[in-house]
């Protein structure tokens, strides 16, 4: 499942979770504005092994026709997916 935005941001103290971690999928804003490089997936090289999907700390890689794709609205450009891909299917490119 792709990340999604909740319909409503927390507005009162009681609505903000006690722990530092929100439940999975709890994204209240698009957060890609700080990214200066972005992962680009070479579909020809991608084997669909899903290692990048499993290791992406933000859960923004999703399954797509037996391969993977990145939701750029939420990717922060950390490059972990590139490092974990043993098929060299991901390159980090400068944000335009
Ligand atoms: S780790 Fe590489 S080969 Fe595996 S799904 Fe991700 S991009 Fe494709
Ligand atoms: S650069 Fe980081 S946040 Fe973006 S898809 Fe790769 S692992 Fe996920």
Domains and CATH numbers, the chain: 13-94 (3.30.70.20)
Q: Hey, what are 93's tokens?
A: 């490119």
pTM as predicted: 0.76
Question: Could you give the CA distance from residue 81 to residue 13 in angstroms, rounded to a whole number?
Answer: 35
Nearest ligand 2 atom, CA 59: 8
The token pair at 13 is 């103290």
The number of the ligand nearest the C-alpha atom of 61 reads 2
pLDDT digits (tens, 9 = 90+) for 1-47: 566 666 666 567 676 666 555 555 555 567 667 789 999 999 999 99
Q: How far apart are CA 88 and CA 1, in angstroms?
A: 24
Cα–Cα distance measured from residue 94 to residue 25, given in angstroms and rounded to the nearest whole number: 27
55 lines ligand 1 (CB under 6 A): no
List pocket residues of ligand 2, CB cut-off 6 Å: 39, 56, 58, 60-61, 70, 75-81
C-alpha–C-alpha distance, residues 43 and 11, integer Å? 41
């Amino acid at each position: 499942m792709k990340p999604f935005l909740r319909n409503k941001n927390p507005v009162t103290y009681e609505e903000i979770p006690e722990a530092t971690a929100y439940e999975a999928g709890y994204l209240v804003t698009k957060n890609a504005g700080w990214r200066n490089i972005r992962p680009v997936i070479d579909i020809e090289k991608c084997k669909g092994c899903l290692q990048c999907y499993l290791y992406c700390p933000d859960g923004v890689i999703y399954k797509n026709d037996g391969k993977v794709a990145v939701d750029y609205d939420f990717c922060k450009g950390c490059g972990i997916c590139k490092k974990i891909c043993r098929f060299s299917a991901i390159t980090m490119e400068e944000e335009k």
